[in-house]
């Protein structure tokens, strides 16, 4: 068995013998109704190398220099089982075939030497496909141990159309495959003298982009395989490359090739890239160009690739000679006829696995802009950014460093664990956990994560340490999920302010709400026993009240009381299979997600249960995938299959003197503002009502509660002396004044000066 060589851009790779005058003559003859074969011809005789052909399937293939018909040939040692082996053409065979006539033909010679009796035949001899359709040419009855000649006229009557139309197909043929296996058993196959009478014309455009949403037509894998993955892209679908040995390369379709001279010094090659295998020093991601005029490459050293396997990384290289290393010929001559455009990432000790998305090749301004599928159904919301992270589920902000963190809810060996999304370690796994589902940080920055199914609560401090903090939840019920820190005053028989509250969506056991003391390991105890017919998933708080969502009760949200009782918040419409909830202390709304049917982000009034659809267009949601920064008016929502943590700009909090935004019937203002010493909280009551006023910090923690009692309908004023619950002066900064009265909630931003 000969070793598998690197299939490169050798001399035989450029056997396109185009004859523009002959093509023009054919056009004239066709115009007067004569069916005349094209005068140019493509052929690969395999006398010196493989000519750019590659083979996919369960096999080993290589150039054989003596056993051809005559001379050299391609040899395929095919295994007894596995997918059918097919030879894939180099880029110059693809393009516009519409000038070819029924007198033109596609042909090759093949000999197969089976190790046992013949068993069946290949599904086709030739297959062509493109955006306009696909067609196959079939032939049966070919003996073993001798050379057979296969020839197919370029005539729709001879081909079986699999999709589309013949005319649309041959206008842009992006892939030609040739049978490289003749029986379904073990055999050796020799291929030689592949010919096409005619010379396809590559459809060249100065700006070419590809987002891989529909397919990976025309792309060819060398020493590997490619897959069209419908999700996990940047965003949406993407192309995944899996190396199978040697130095695998990805070859671009023919329409990317041609004369690039106009882009010299002004154009660029760019794409989004992710790496699943761990890089080692001294390796690189490389883009290679080759043609009759020379060859060149540009690279990104593996040292520049962080140990990140979850973040999409944008890469871009300008098309100027100072950026590229020219290995033969000249830069100008190369760009005059680019016949090969390849991407490789030989960065690991084993077989590499990587993906690309949003590829562009062209002049200035040629960009494959990532899609934004989010549609908003309420005013004043917008996408103001995103983090291209693959597989994000639960989200949480750390109040100590202000960073955003996420969990990847898969096995530890597949990348499960906790990851920073911002900061210097963005995308680097801090700790490995199996199927983590809930995440929260305490005020001092300690992190806590729950493991689904395993019944484990982990405590971690930065990237330095992690330990099991609780693992004695209900027997037979090992599914702790979402967490929240109990707010001030949330004191009961089994819970105190500052404890962790944990939603348990028990699989085979009871569904309880648990409490754990952050400073004491194995301190878990039940706060709310299983009330029956619930499946808790997530919790949130406004600094006073705690709400829980479960995926069984679509029409209610549950208020959790510290004494272990609960009360329903009836919703005006169902939010189906909700697994996440978060509170915005800026405007006083709850937010939740629907994870079944049309995925959506919903806004919920905590007093009335009124539900409003905010946004749709998401891919898939995990659990606990919401987080809010009320002070900066940001909401993050993790969208797993879109490889996005969307950053959504929330509506602004009302400023002094602004009209009421109809969050409630209260007309709330502060005078004076900003606050130096004290302020009057002024509001309008639509009817007589008991009034509660909470002062919250930026993290949503309750600083002070003022209870003026029942007040009559009409204007009212309550003084706040800028002091906390303990009587001390609050620090300078931003706070929120939240007024709850008459079943309504109104929030106003307050700036305290010192």
pLDDT digits (tens, 9 = 90+) for 512-541: 999 999 999 999 999 999 888 888 899 999
Q: Where are the beta strands (DSSP E) in 202-283?
A: 208-210, 220-222, 224-229, 238-243, 249-251, 268-275
User: Per residue in 597-646, pLDDT tens?
Assistant: 889 999 999 988 999 999 999 988 989 999 999 888 999 999 988 889 99
Per-residue tokens: 84: 């059918």
Q: Residue 26: helix, strand or coil by DSSP?
A: helix
> Which residues of the chain form CATH 2.120.10.30?
376-649
pLDDT digits (tens, 9 = 90+) for 366-410: 888 777 789 999 999 999 889 999 889 999 999 988 899 999 999
The model carries a pTM of 0.66
The reported pLDDT for the residue numbered 203 is: 65
Query: How many whole angstroms separate alpha carbon 497 and alpha carbon 481?
Result: 20
Integer Cα distance of 489 and 214 in angstroms: 54
Rounded Cα distance between 723 and 183, Å, is: 85
Query: What are the pLDDT digits (tens) for 91-100?
Result: 778 888 999 9
**What radius of gyration do the chain's Cα atoms show?**
33
What is the tens place of the pLDDT at every residue in 116-132? 656 678 999 999 998 89
What pLDDT is stored for residue 3 in this prediction? 27
CA distance 723 to 752: 10
- What is the per-residue pLDDT across 190-215, written as a single tens digit (0 to 9) for each? 999 999 998 787 667 789 899 998 88
Q: What whole-number percentage of the chain has pLDDT above 90?
A: 52
pLDDT of residue 25: 30
- Other beta carbons less than 10 A from residue 453's beta carbon: 12
pLDDT at 114 over 50: yes
- Of residues 224 and 485, more confidence is placed in 485
pLDDT, tens digit, for every residue of 269-321?
Answer: 999 998 877 777 667 889 999 999 999 999 987 666 655 568 888 899 999 99
Q: How high is the pLDDT of residue 123?
A: 92
Which fold would CATH assign to domain 669-752?
A: Immunoglobulin-like (2.60.40)
Average pLDDT of 30-52? 66
Indicate the fold that domain 1-203 takes in CATH.
Jelly Rolls (2.60.120)
**Residue pLDDT, tens place only, 98-107:** 999 999 999 9
Average pLDDT of every residue of the chain: 85
Q: What's the pLDDT at 474?
A: 73
Among residues of the chain, what percentage have pLDDT more than 70? 89
Rounded-to-integer distance, Cα 440 and Cα 592, Å: 17
- pLDDT in the model for residue 475: 63
Distance between CA atoms of 269 and 288, rounded to whole angstroms? 11
Buried b (16+ CB within 10 A) or exposed e, 362-391: beeebebebeebbebeeeebebeebbbbbb
Pinpoint the residues of the chain covered by CATH 2.60.40.4070. Answer: 669-752
| Span 204-370 CATH architecture | Sandwich (2.60)
DSSP code, position 730 = P
Write out pLDDT tens, residues 328-376.
999 999 999 999 999 988 777 777 889 999 999 998 888 887 777 899 9
Beta bridge partners of 581: 592
Residues of the chain with CATH 2.60.120.430: 1-203
Beta strands in 180-248 (DSSP E): 187-197, 208-210, 220-222, 224-229, 238-243
Contact 132, 164 (CB under 8 A): yes
Write the DSSP string, 650-707. Answer: PPPPPPTTPPP-SSSS---EEESSSBSS-EEEEEEESS-EEEEEEEE-TTS-EEEEEE
**pLDDT for position 590:** 96
pLDDT for residue 32: 30
For 197, which DSSP code? E
CB 392 within 8 A of CB 637: no
Q: Rounded to whole angstroms, how far apart are CA atoms 615 and 376?
A: 4
Q: Give burial (CB, 10 Å; 0-12/13-18/19+) of 709.
A: exposed
Please list the residue range(s) of the chain that carry CATH number 2.60.120.260: 204-370
Q: What pLDDT shows up at residue 202? A: 66
How do 382-387 and 294-301 pair as beta strands?
A: unpaired
We find that the CATH architecture of domain 376-649 is 6 Propeller (2.120)
687 vs 167, residue with greater confidence: 167
Is it the case that residue 662 has pLDDT exceeding 50? Answer: no
Contact 243, 353 (CB under 8 A): yes
What pLDDT, on a 0 to 100 scale, did the predictor assign at position 68? 97
Q: Is the pLDDT of residue 82 over 90?
A: no
Please check the confidence at residue 447 and state whether its pLDDT lies above 70.
yes
């Amino acid at each position: 068995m000969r070793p598998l060589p690197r299939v490169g851009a050798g001399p035989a790779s450029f056997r396109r013998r185009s004859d523009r005058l002959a093509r023009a003559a054919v056009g004239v003859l066709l115009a007067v109704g004569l069916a005349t074969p094209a005068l140019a011809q493509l052929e690969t005789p395999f006398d010196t190398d493989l000519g750019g052909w590659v083979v996919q399937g369960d096999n080993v293939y290589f150039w054989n220099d003596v056993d051809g018909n005559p001379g050299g040939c391609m040899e395929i040692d095919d295994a007894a089982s596995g997918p059918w082996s097919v030879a894939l053409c180099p880029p110059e065979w693809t393009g516009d075939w519409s000038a070819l006539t029924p007198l033109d033909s596609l042909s090759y010679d093949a000999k197969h030497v089976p190790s046992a009796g013949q068993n069946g035949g290949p599904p086709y001899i030739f297959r062509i496909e493109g955006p306009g359709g696909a067609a196959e040419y079939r032939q049966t009855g070919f003996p073993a141990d001798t050379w057979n000649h296969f020839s197919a006229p370029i005539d729709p009557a001879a081909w079986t159309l699999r999709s589309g139309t013949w005319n649309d197909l041959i206008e842009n043929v992006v892939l030609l495959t040739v049978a490289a296996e003749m029986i379904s058993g073990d055999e050796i196959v020799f291929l030689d003298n592949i010919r096409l009478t005619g010379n396809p014309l590559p459809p060249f455009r100065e700006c070419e982009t590809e987002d891989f949403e529909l397919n990976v037509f025309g792309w060819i894998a060398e020493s590997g395989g490619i897959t069209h993955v419908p999700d996990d892209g940047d965003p949406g679908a993407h192309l995944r490359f899996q190396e199978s040995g040697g130095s695998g390369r990805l070859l671009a379709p023919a329409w990317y090739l041609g004369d690039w001279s106009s882009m010299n010094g002004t154009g660029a090659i760019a794409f989004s890239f992710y790496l699943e295998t761990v890089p080692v020093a001294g390796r690189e991601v490389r883009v290679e160009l080759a043609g009759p005029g020379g060859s060149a490459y540009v690279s990104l050293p593996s040292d520049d690739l962080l140990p990140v396997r979850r973040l999409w990384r944008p890469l871009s290289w300008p098309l100027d000679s100072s950026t590229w290393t020219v290995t033969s010929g000249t830069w100008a001559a190369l760009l005059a006829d680019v016949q090969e455009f390849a991407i490789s990432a030989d960065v690991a000790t084993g077989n590499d696995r990587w993906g690309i998305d949003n590829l562009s090749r062209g002049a200035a301004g040629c960009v494959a802009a990532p899609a934004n599928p989010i549609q908003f159904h309420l005013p004043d919301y917008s996408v103001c950014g995103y983090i291209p992270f693959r597989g994000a589920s639960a989200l949480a902000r750390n109040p100590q460093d202000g960073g955003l963190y996420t969990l990847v809810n898969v096995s530890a060996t597949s990348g499960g664990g906790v990851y920073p999304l911002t900061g210097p370690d963005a995308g680097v796994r801090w700790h490995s956990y199996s199927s983590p589902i809930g995440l929260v940080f305490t005020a001092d920055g300690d992190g806590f994560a729950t493991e689904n199914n395993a019944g484990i609560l982990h405590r971690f401090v930065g990237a330095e340490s992690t330990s099991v903090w609780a693992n004695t939840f209900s027997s037979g019920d090992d599914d702790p999920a979402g967490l929240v820190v109990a707010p001030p005053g949330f004191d009961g028989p089994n819970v105190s302010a500052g404890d962790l509250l944990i939603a348990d969506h028990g699989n085979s056991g009871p569904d309880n709400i648990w409490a754990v003391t952050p400073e004491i390991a194995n301190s878990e105890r039940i706060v709310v026993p299983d009330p029956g017919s619930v499946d808790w998933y997530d919790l949130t708080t406004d600094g006073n009240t705690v709400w829980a969502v479960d995926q069984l009760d679509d029409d209610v949200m549950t208020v959790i009381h510290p004494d272990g009782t609960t009360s329903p918040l009836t919703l005006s419409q169902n939010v189906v299979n909700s697994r996440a909830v978060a509170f915005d202390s800026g405007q006083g709304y709850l937010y939740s997600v629907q994870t079944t049917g049309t995925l959506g982000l919903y806004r919920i009034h905590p007093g009335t249960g009124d539900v409003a659809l905010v946004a749709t267009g998401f891919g898939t949601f995990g659990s606990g995938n919401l987080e809010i920064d009320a002070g900066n008016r940001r909401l993050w929502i993790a969208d797993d299959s879109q490889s996005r943590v969307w950053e959504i700009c929330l509506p602004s909090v009302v400023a002094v003197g602004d009209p009421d935004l109809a969050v409630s019937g209260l007309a709330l203002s502060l005078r004076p503002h900003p606050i130096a010493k004290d302020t009057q909280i002024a509001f309008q009551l639509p009817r007589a009502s008991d009034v509660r006023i909470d002062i919250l910090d930026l993290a949503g923690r309750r600083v002070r509660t003022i209870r003026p009692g029942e007040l009559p309908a009409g204007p009212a004023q309550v003084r706040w002396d800028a002091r906390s619950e303990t009587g001390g002066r609050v620090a300078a900064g931003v706070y929120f004044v939240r007024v709850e009265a008459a079943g309504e909630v109104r929030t106003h931003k307050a700036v305290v000066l010192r």
